[in-house]
Amino acid sequence: MVLDVQKLTMDFGGLRAVDHVDLHIQHGEIVALIGPNGAGKTTFFNCVTGMYKPTGGEIKAGRPEAEIQSIKGLKPHIITKHGLARTFQNIRLFPEMTVLENVMIGRDCRLKSGIIGAIFRDPRTRAEEAQVVKDSLLILDKIGLAQWANEAAMNLPYGAQRRLEIARALATEPFLLLLDEPAAGMNPHETRQLVELIRRLRDEENLSIFLIEHDMSLVMNLSERIYVMDYGKLIASGKPEEVKKDPVVIKAYLGEDVSA
Amino acid sequence: MTQRLHELRRSLLVSLWFMLLTFPIMVIRVNTITGTIRWRWSNLALIGIGSFVISVVWRYAMQRKTGEVRATGVFAQVGARVGAGAEKVRTVLDSPKVRVRLVSGLLAAAVAYPFLTSMYHTNIMITALTYVVLGLGLNIIIGLGGMLHIGYAAFYAIGAYSYALLNMYFGINFWLALPIGAALAGLFSLLIGLPTLRLRGDYLAIVTLAFAEITRLVLQNWQQVTGGAAGIPNIPRPQLFGMTMRLHQTTTFVYFIMLAVVILTIFVVHRLENSRIGRQWVAMKEDYIACQAMGVSIAKAKLTALGIGAVWGGLVGVIFAARTTFINPASFTVWESVIILSTVVLGGMGSIPGVFVGALVLMLLPEYLRPFAQYRMLIFGALLVTMMVFRPGGFIKKRRKAYTITEAEKQSVIEAGAEADEDTEE
Ligand SMILES: Nc1ncnc2c1ncn2[C@@H]1O[C@H](COP(=O)(O)OP(=O)(O)OP(=O)(O)O)[C@@H](O)[C@H]1O
Ligand SMILES: [Mg+2]
C-alpha cells in the first residue's frame, strides 16, 4: 500500500467538505476519484498534499519498498519531499519562467547546495546545477515538451501546459502522482495522448496514480478502481464496471451520462 | 474602477493602522524632567500620509505586475516612449563588448575619483556608495524576496552600534567588527522574520517599521549602555596595519573600503540571482502555492532573503560608525528607511543596475542642488508617484536572465539519456 486514508474529515466553518472518507491505493494502481461538482474531491487532494490541515482522520503514505507513515498535517513541501506530487485543477505553472526552469523547480527538493555554494560556486554546486539541467531536460523529453524548453511557460498551448504540470510533478521523484482533472479543457486528441502518457508513466516510472476527472470515458478506460464522492461522503467504490452500474452513483450524477 | 476604489480603501485602512500603532512612539513624548507630555500631532499626519502613499504605490505596483492595471491615454504613450528609449539603450548595453568597456571605464573612474577631486567630493561619494549598498541589500528582501520591508535602517543602526559598543567596551577593532556587525544585523532580521513569515505586503511593512522604531527607541533610552540620545563619540577610524593616517588619507581609505563593499555586494547579489535560491525566489513570487507544492520551503526561502539582505545594512553600518566617529539614534529614523526604500523602488525593484543608478541619483542630486535640499522629501514623493504612473518598473526595469539551453546542448543531453536507457535495458 502506498496511500492509506482513514476517516478523513475536513470542515470549513459549518461546511463539512470531506466527511469520514476511507481510501487506499496499492502500489502500481491507477485509481480515480469522481463525483459531481463541489463533492469535495479537490479538498480531499488538498488534505493529502498538505495544502489544508485536515480536521480529523489519518493519512499514511510511503514508498512501496518502505514502511508507510503518517503525513497528516505536514507542510506541503515536506509531503512533496516524502514522495507525493500533484498537479492543479486550475493550471498553476510559473508563467514567466521557462519550461525548463519550471521543471528545475520541481527538482529543487532533491538538491543540496546552499547559500555558500551559490556565492562561491564550488565544483559540487556547479556539478549539481549542471545535473539539474540535464535531469530536467530528460524529463521534458520523456513528456514530449523538449522542443519548448526555452519558451516561457505561459506561451505554451493549453494541452502542453497541462503536461508541463505533470513533468514538473515528476521532477520531484514521487511514488504517487496526484492529478486534479488532468484532461480538463483538452481536445479528444490531446486526451488520448494524455491517457497514453499516464499509462506509460505508471509502467515505466514505477508510479502509482491517483486522479480526479470529470471525463467519464477517460476514467472508465484508464482507471483500475474508482471512488465516488458526493457532498463530502464516499458513496461508492470498486471496479469501473461495478461503479458504472451502481444505482447510488447514477442517482448522484442525476442524468449525467455515466456510461458515455 | 471599483477594484481601484477597493484598493484605495485598503490603503486607507493600512495607514490608519499605522497611525494607531505608531501613536505611542511617534506622537506622545513624555518629558520626564518636567513631567509634561508633548503631543506631536504633525508626526501623526506625516505617518498617515507617508504610509498611505507607500501602500498605494505598493498595491499599484503589485497590480501592474499581475497585469490588472494598464495606463491609458497620454500616460500609456509617454510610458511607451520612455520604455522604447530605454530598450534601445539596453540593446546597445547588451553587447558584451560595450559592457566590458563600460564596466572597466566605470571602475577606472571610480578608482581615480578620490585623487582627482577634493575630500569634500570624496565624502559625498562615500555617502552615495553607502546608499548603493543599502539599496542593494534591501533589494534582496524587496526585489528578490518579494517582501515589503520599511525598517531597513534598523540593520544600519545595528551595524553602527555593534562597532561603537564593541569597541567601547571590549576594544574590538574595525576589521573584526565588520563581520560581527553584519552577522548581528542578519540575526536580528531572522528573529523578526520568524514570527512574521505569514504576513504579506503592507502588513509585513507595519511590523518591520515597528521593529525599526523599537530598535531606535532602545538605543535612545538605554542610556547606561548606549549613551542615549547623546550618542557615542570618539569611535576610532579604520586602521591599516597600525599606520597613522591624516584625515584626507583616511577618507580616501574609507572610500576604497566602500568601493570594495559595493563590488562585493554586486557580485554576491548577482551570484544569488543565478543560483538555486534565486530560482526559488522567482518561483515563489510567481506562484507561492505551486512553489511549496513543488517541494520548496517558502519559509526558508523568505528567511534567506531576510537574513542575507540585512547583512549588508550591518556591514555599511560599521563603516558608517568608523567614518563619522560619532553616532546617535537620530541617524536611524524612519525617514532613513524610507530613503533606502525609495532608491530601490525608483531605481527598479530587483535590478542591480537600477538600484545602483537609483541610489546615486537620489543621493548625489540633492547634494549638488543645495537650494532644493529642503524640499528633498517632497521631491522624493513626487518622483515616486510619477515613476509609478509612467514607469512602474523603475529607472531600469528588472529583466530576469532566464535559464536557457542551446539546441546543441539539448541534443547531446537527450542522446546521452537515450543511450543510458539502452544500457540499463540490456
Ligand atoms: N478553502 C475553502 N474554504 C471554504 N470552503 C471551501 C474551501 N475549499 C473548498 N470549499 C468548499 O468545499 C466544497 C468542496 O469543494 P471542492 O473544490 O473540493 O469540490 P470538487 O469536488 O473539487 O468540485 P469540482 O469538481 O467543481 O472541482 C465546496 O462546497 C467548496 O465551496
Ligand atoms: Mg475540484
CB B262 within 8 Å of CB B132: yes
Give the span between the Cα atoms of B324 and B320, in whole angstroms.
6
Comparing B369 with A80, the larger pLDDT belongs to A80
Query: Which residues in chain A are classed under CATH 3.40.50.300?
Result: 1-83+174-260
Nearest ligand (C-alpha, residue A180): 2
What pLDDT does residue B161 have? 95
- When the pLDDT of each residue in chain A is averaged and rounded to a whole number, the result is 93
- Comparing alpha-carbon positions, the chain B residue that sits nearest to A113 is B276
Q: Tell whether ligand 1 has an atom less than 6 A from the beta carbon of residue A38.
A: yes
**β-strand partners of B29:** B38
- Of B201 and B164, the structure prediction assigns the larger pLDDT to B164
| pLDDT on residue A54 | 96
Domains, chain B, with CATH or none: 7-73 (no CATH), 117-390 (1.10.3470)
The pLDDT score that the predictor gives to residue B307 is 96
Q: Would you say the C-alpha torsion B346, B351, B357, B363 has a positive or negative sign?
A: positive
Q: Chain centroid to CA B47: how far?
A: 20
* Closest CA–CA distance from residue B285 to any residue of chain A (Å): 9
Q: Compute and round to an integer the Cα radius of gyration of chain A.
A: 19
Summarize pLDDT for B248-260 with one digit per residue, the tens.
888 899 999 999 9
pLDDT in tens, B71-115: 555 666 666 676 677 677 777 777 778 888 888 898 999 998 889
Residue-level pLDDT at A260: 44
Residue A154 CA, distance from chain mean position:
20
Q: 3-class DSSP state for residue B241?
A: coil
How far, in Å, from the CA of A182 to the mean position of ligand 1? 17
Question: What are the tens digits of pLDDT across the range A34-62?
Answer: 999 999 999 999 999 999 999 999 999 99
For residue A96, how many C-alpha atoms fall within 13 Å in the half-sphere facing its CB? 15
Residue that is written with C-alpha cell 480515480 in the block: A32
C-alpha cell at A5: 486514508
Task: Indicate the pLDDT class of residue B36, thresholds 50, 70 and 90.
Answer: confident
**Rounded to the nearest 10 degrees, what angle do helices B153-170 and B298-324 cross at?**
60
Residues 305-324 of B with CB under 8 A from A: 308
pLDDT at A228: 95
All three cell numbers of B403: 535559464
Query: Mean pLDDT throughout B52-65?
Result: 71
Is the domain spanning A1-83+174-260 CATH 3.40.50.300? The answer is: yes
The interface predicted TM-score of the complex, written ipTM, equals: 0.92
- Of all atoms in ligand 1, which is nearest to the CA of residue A229? 21
Residues of A (75-94) whose Cβ lies below 8 Å from B: 75-77, 80-81, 85-86, 88, 92-94
Q: What is the pLDDT of residues A124-149, one digit of tens each?
A: 999 999 999 999 999 999 999 999 99
Cα–Cα dist B59/B8, whole Å = 9
Buried-state track B286-310, b at ≥16 Cβ within 10 A, e below 16? bbbebbbbbbbbbeebbbbbbbbbb
| Sheet of A30-34, strands arranged across | A84-86, A176-180, A208-212, A30-34, A225-230, A233-238
The CA A42 to ligand 1 mean position distance, Å, reads: 7
Q: Does B276 touch chain A (CB under 8 A)?
A: yes
B269 and A CB contact within 8 Å: no
Residue pLDDT, tens place only, B296-334: 999 999 999 999 999 999 999 999 999 999 999 998 988
Whether A43 is in the pocket of ligand 1, judged by its Cβ within 6 Å, is yes
CA angle A85, A15, B292 (to 5 degrees): 25
What is the nearest CA distance from A161 to chain B, expressed in angstroms?
14
Strand A69-70's sheet: what is its strand order? A15-25, A3-12, A56-61, A69-70
Q: Quick: pLDDT tens for B185-232.
A: 999 999 988 888 877 667 788 888 888 989 999 998 888 888 888 888
CB contact under 8 A, B286 and A95: yes
Task: Indicate the average pLDDT of chain B.
Answer: 83
> Would you state the pLDDT for residue B225?
83
CB contact under 8 A, A133 and B405: yes
- Summarised one tens digit per residue, pLDDT across range A235-260 is 999 999 999 888 888 888 765 554 44
Per-residue pLDDT tens digits for A110-124: 999 999 999 999 999
Alpha helices in B294-375 (DSSP H): 298-324, 334-347, 352-368
Contact A240, A209 (CB under 8 A): no
Contact call for B294 and A146, based on CB within 8 A? no
Report which of residues B361 and A166 the model is more confident about. A166
Burial grade of A65 (CB within 10 A; 0-12, 13-18, 19 or more): exposed
What's the confidence (pLDDT) of residue B426?
A: 44
pLDDT for B68: 47
- Which of residues B408 and A100 earns the better pLDDT score? A100
Helix/strand/coil (H, E, C) string of A130-192?
HHHHHHHHHHHHHHCCHHHCCCEHHHCCHHHHHHHHHHHHHCCCCCEEEEECCCCCCCHHHHH
By the CB < 8 Å criterion, does A238 face chain B?
Answer: no
Q: Closest partner residue to A94 among B278, B290, B417, by Cβ?
A: B290
Chain B interface includes A144 (CB < 8 A) = no
Of all ligands present, the nearest one to the C-alpha of A19 is 1
